[in-house]
A and B are shown apart, each in its own frame.
Chain A
Amino acid sequence: MDIDFITQILFAAIKTGTPLLFIALGEVICEKSGVLNLGQEGMMLMGAVVGFLAAYTTGSAGLGIFGAIFMGMIMSLIFAFLVLHLGANQVATGLALTIFGTGLSAFVGADVVGQTVQGFQPIIIPLLSDIPLLGKILFTHDLLVYVSFAMAGSVAYVANRTRTGLVLKAVGENPHAANAIGIKVLRVRYCAIMFGGAMAGLSGAYMSLVYTPMWIENMSSGRGWIALALVVFASWRIGNIMLGAYLFGLASIMHLVLQGMGWSISPNLLAMLPYVATVLVMVIISADKFKEKLLAPRSLGKPFDPRQMA
């Protein structure tokens, strides 16, 4: 294995991990506000199909991205209304959203299965891409990968350094107390859920416009679920989420590489590798239960009704 080959593997690992990073960043904000949205997979698929259709009919990948983000937000708005306004159970509603999104995306995209669109061209950043090794791995990607870097940085900054992050954490820990000091709990949760939806849509667009620029039914292949696990195992920390996402990317690539090298293991077992590896490593990272208790949003999954004060 020469150095070029390794560089290529790592480059591909980042590319493969990017959709997972997007969706996990959305989910972590949502969960920090105390809402567990299991509808990630459905939102992502709807984003993917709408993004693809928009790009396919207009010929503009940019419009596709906006369409996907918009669709993700609409889907999350449905969820938010049911959960926040009507006080529906978050787990059941989230599952329903996933089933709904999976089915609807297959229906909407039935006519364009297998069609392709013009994806994004890589943007090679001058100077930075000349850094030996790292330059190749990090700075020769398409626009959305750079966006994902920027998003991870800004989400981490907002969550840890700003008043907005403080408010978010407060709402997720104790919504009643937050309400008592005048924070508009439902508004914060609406925003967090919508952000989650937007990121899920974007992640879907990455799948159908960049990663494999075509629409295939159920093309997210469980990334929404892995993102949910990733957020928990990463202890709601952005750094760990990035690590986990790229690890997933790496394992996904390795399963192709190993097949290519002629390993005589069933490809089905190898296809399992990214999921198993990601979960395993993340479990090991999050083994410190003590810290876990401090980082987890205490009111995760619990509905809040401002009219009902304890």
Chain B
Amino acid sequence: MSQVSRDVIVIETPNLTRKESAPPRLTLKNITKEYPGCLANDNISMSLENGEIHALLGENGAGKSTLVKAIYGVVAPNAGELIWEGSSVKISNPANARDLGIGMVFQHFSLFETLSVSQNIELCLSKEQLASIPDLSQRISQLSEQYGLNVDPDKYVHSLSIGERQRVEIMRCLVQSVKLLILDEPTSVLTPQEVAGLFVVLKQLSKEGCSILFISHKLHEVTEICQSATILRAGKVVDTCNPKEETPASLAKMMVGDLAEQDAGYTKKTGDKVCLEVINLSLSSAQPFGTQLKNIQFDLVAGEILGIAGVAGNGQEELMSAISGEDSRAAPDMIKLNQVPIGDLGAGKRRQLGMAYVPEERLGRGAVPDMSLSENTLLTHSKGFIHKGIVDWKGLKSYTSQLIDSFKVKCHGEFSEAQSLSGGNLQKFIMGREIGQSPKVLICAHPTWGVDVGAALAIHQALLKLRDEGAAILLVSEDIDELFLLADRMAAVCDGFLSPVIRCEDTNIDQIGQWMAGTFISETDTPSKEASA
């Protein structure tokens, strides 16, 4: 069993200068994983060479996450074989995987916030490993320097930014000297500069012989750093390629089949009528570890999309709460909707005035997990479907079904519980529900976060249609490419400050990236200069 015959290896990587005799780091043979009612992985075979950066591509629900979880021992496949460095292995739990030298950085970080960085790393090490490292803090500092990771071992995780947390996760893998590093959408939360830094680390690791399995929805990143790619669709391997020879558009085509027409760009518009004004909005945070909003000022114009870029945790959440009315502590005059002061109104009143809101957290704030889709629709459409206090269930159901159809939400029907939907599908549903109210102002966080290429396209078009109908849209996203694609004007937040607002044509990714890091703070002579450091 230990010898791999060559013909089962589906993917050849001709560009690698590998000795014919060395077995690949990891070979998957016919991995199959079935969930009730869903075949997540269907006979997947692939192999990973030593030192290779290999992309795993596919839409939401294509089975990427299931596959890497099978490799990392989090889920047990129903059938198939894993061959690690030439010998067949059974990985039944993450501890097994780590003993082999497999490390994984999850999409949602798996750090313990109330522990310090070195405690987090210590927890990952077995007693033997711990014994072999005389001084963990020193080892962390040394690796930190070697790879330019910039991790302070004594800091508590809750005080770290998202980018820093990711570096802690990577550090956690490095300390146990991994041979295969799995990264699940590592760049979706980073600034462009941080992404560049991450890629330097990955390239260095690859040069040292560490194999990397890289999941991303950002195809240009894949073409930039990956040496080979496996494309999944509906649980099957549909294609393999060398991303260096492909373009993002051709990769997208492989992922979604022939349906995709990746749009190169949309027309930008200029509106004239100011719809929503935010005037000198300053607000202390209602949460511990939150960000204080400092003198935020901007206008939303009807028929325009304003994009706000920024790394998570720089005040986006607080800003959106203040505008949507979840947080109604602001002074009335700080926020005006069509000249009406609304700063102190609750979310319900603001919705009556024509505001719609798609929060970042889909399950829990965007939708009630235990309620059906039609009940969730009723929550924000109460006007249309309640007559004299009686709910019009028939109308509500047909409306919800229509919504599910037009936004291609994959679910059993309008009676499905919100929590039974995958993240991307729920996002489509919530976007559809909010857009369906034809709001005057739409506040929208991360419209396509975790959504696949096909669905993202649908959401983009729905947003642009809404804009063209004369709505003012505020997009808050960490995906800077998407903001450039959709927004007519751009700004960035950093540490609770908002940068100047600039038309998209007059700026570029570099400038916005620098704004996200806070360079505008010193430009606009605001008092706290240390924030830019």
Contact = CB atoms under 8 A, between A and B. Distances in A.
Interface of A: 163, 166-167, 169-170, 173-174, 176-183, 289-290, 293-295, 298, 309-310
B75 A309 contact: yes
A304 to B, nearest CB: 14
A248 to B, nearest CB: 28
B288 A310 contact: no
B408 to A, nearest CB: 24
B69 interface: yes
Given A163-B127, A181-B172, A182-B96, 16 more contacts: A163-B130, A169-B115, A170-B123, A173-B112, A173-B113, A174-B112, A174-B113, A177-B109, A180-B94, A180-B106, A181-B110, A289-B288, A294-B114, A294-B158, A295-B114, A309-B69
A289 B72 CA distance: 38
B140 to A, nearest CB: 16
22 contacts: A163-B123, A163-B127, A163-B130, A167-B123, A170-B115, A174-B110, A177-B111, A178-B112, A179-B74, A180-B72, A180-B74, A180-B104, A181-B98, A181-B110, A182-B93, A182-B94, A182-B95, A182-B96, A298-B114, A309-B69, A309-B74, A309-B75
B424 to A, nearest CB: 15
Interface in B269-306: 288
B108 interface: yes
A178 B93 CA distance: 12
A181 B158 contact: no
Q: Give 7 nearest A-B pairs by CB, closest first.
A: A182-B95, A177-B110, A182-B94, A181-B124, A180-B110, A170-B112, A173-B112
B34 to A, nearest CB: 14
A173 B130 CA distance: 22
A245 to B, nearest CB: 25
A173 B114 contact: yes
Contacts of B123: 163, 166-167, 170, 178, 181, 183
Interface in B380-434: none
Contacts of A166: 115, 119, 122-123
Contacts of A178: 112, 123
A257 to B, nearest CB: 42
Contacts of B113: 173-174, 298
Nearest to B124: A181
Contacts of B106: 180
B110 A176 contact: yes
Which one of A166, A177, A290 has the highest number of Cβ atoms from chain B below 10 Å of its Cβ?
A177
A275 B498 CA distance: 52
Interface in B89-138: 93-96, 98, 104, 106, 108-115, 119, 122-124, 127, 130
Contacts of B98: 181-182
Contacts of A167: 123
B72 to A, nearest CB: 8
B474 to A, nearest CB: 29
Interface of B: 69, 72, 74-75, 93-96, 98, 104, 106, 108-115, 119, 122-124, 127, 130, 158, 172, 288
Nearest to B66: A309
B128 to A, nearest CB: 13
Contacts of B119: 166
Contact of A179 (B94, B104, B114): B94
A177 B114 contact: no
B94 A177 contact: no
A169 B130 CA distance: 19
A169 B72 CA distance: 23
B137 to A, nearest CB: 15
A291 to B, nearest CB: 9
A164 to B, nearest CB: 11
Given A163-B122, A166-B122, A293 B288 contact: yes
Contacts of B124: 181-182
A178 B74 CA distance: 12
B74 A169 contact: no
A8 to B, nearest CB: 42
Most buried by B among A170, A181, A295, A309: A181
A185 to B, nearest CB: 11
A182 B158 CA distance: 22
Contacts of B109: 177
A177 B123 CA distance: 11
A310 B93 contact: no
Contacts of A293: 288
A173 B357 CA distance: 31
Contacts of B69: 309
A169 B95 contact: no
A226 B23 CA distance: 63
Nearest to B65: A309
A28 to B, nearest CB: 15
Contacts of A310: 108
B63 to A, nearest CB: 14
B517 to A, nearest CB: 28
Nearest to B126: A182
A178 B110 CA distance: 8
A40 B96 CA distance: 37
A268 B124 CA distance: 54
Contacts of B95: 181-182
A178 B75 CA distance: 15
Contacts of A183: 123
Contacts of B75: 309
A99 to B, nearest CB: 28
Nearest to B111: A177
A169 B114 contact: yes
Nearest to A183: B123
Nearest to B103: A181
B94 A181 contact: yes
A176 B109 CA distance: 10
Contacts of A290: 288
A51 to B, nearest CB: 37
A290 B119 CA distance: 21
Nearest to B110: A177
Nearest to A295: B114
B42 to A, nearest CB: 20
A309 B124 CA distance: 19
Contacts of A298: 113-114
Contacts of A174: 110, 112-113
B36 to A, nearest CB: 12
A181 B124 CA distance: 6
B215 to A, nearest CB: 16
A166 to B, nearest CB: 6
Contacts of B112: 169-170, 173-174, 177-178
B31 to A, nearest CB: 17
B168 to A, nearest CB: 12
Contacts of B96: 182
Contacts of B127: 163
Contacts of A180: 72, 74, 94, 104, 106, 110
Nearest to B109: A177
Contacts of B158: 294
B65 to A, nearest CB: 9
A88 B522 CA distance: 56
Contacts of B111: 177
Contacts of B108: 310
